[in-house]
Amino acid sequence: MIDTAPRRFERRLLWVMPIIGLTTQLIHEGAHWITGRALGYPVIFGLNAVTSPTPMTVPDHILMSLSGPLVTIAGAVGAFLWLLRRPSLAAYGVLFFALFMRLVAVGLSIFLLNDEARSSQLLGIGTWTLPALVVGALAFMTVIGSRRLGVGWRINVGLYLICSVIVSAIVGADMMLRS
């Protein structure tokens, strides 16, 4: 374990998390939008959802649904690899937010299927297969990253609370902009 998390750096991470969270969310939704447009569909961009007012084929729906999580996972893997080579609290923040957003999305799938659950169901492999794989992989990388950096439970709780506020603000802003 490398002790690279002095208190001032931990506090700085807490302040930079809103930027990491909003950027990650916009890139995630942007991937959905780019995929939908590339497939030739009219798509409506929102802070928390990208939709097409026209029906999509099942394969196109799967591609558009998975594009956001795939880009989010790619960013998390990149942050994880960076973190393994060079200790970085910002990389840990990217990793933590990716896990947080996909975990929250899985929890909300009880009411409305998230990207991975919807795609998993459309692929016929069981609703919870892809969500479990994604969250499991992200959790594994986040735990390894936390241990490598020596990030303690207080900072992780702080990150959880900040991420909760970030996601709530994004969802609330999206609802206001759509109304």
Kindly write down the DSSP assignment for every residue of the chain, as one continuous string: ------HHHHHHHHHHHHHHHHHHHHHHHHHHHHHHHHTT---EE-SS-EE-SS---HHHHHHHHHHHHHHHHHHHHHHHHHHHHS--HHHHHHHHHHHHHHHHHHHHTTTS--HHHHHHHHTTS-TTHHHHHHHHHHHHHHHHHHHHHT--HHHHHHHHHHHHHHHHHHHHHHHHHH-
How far, in Å, CA of 48 to CA of 28, rounded? 9
What backbone phi and psi angles, to 5 degrees, belong to 122? -65, -30
The answer, as to whether pTM is greater than 0.75, is yes
Q: What is the reported pLDDT for 155?
A: 86
Question: Which one-letter amino acid corresponds to residue 179?
Answer: S
Give the start-to-end residue ranges of the domains of the chain.
7-28+58-178
- Average pLDDT of the residues in 1-18: 66
- Average pLDDT of the residues in 63-67: 98
Q: What is the reported pLDDT for 3?
A: 42
How far, in Å, CA of 153 to CA of 59, rounded? 42
Highest mean pLDDT of the ranges 2-11, 45-54, 147-156: 45-54
For 114-158, the pLDDT digits (tens) are 999 999 999 999 999 999 999 999 999 999 999 999 888 888 998
- Judged against a pLDDT cut of 60, whether residue 4 lies above it is answered with no
Q: What is the reported pLDDT for 15?
A: 85
Would you mind telling me the total number of residues written for the chain in this entry?
179
For 102-112, the pLDDT digits (tens) are 999 999 999 99
> What distance, in Å, lies between the first and last C-alpha atoms of the chain?
49
How far, in Å, CA of 107 to CA of 43, rounded? 26
Q: What is the reported pLDDT for 166?
A: 96
Question: Which one-letter amino acid corresponds to residue 31?
Answer: A
Angle 115-122/89-108 helices, nearest 10 degrees? 60
Angle 153-178/7-38 helices, nearest 10 degrees? 40
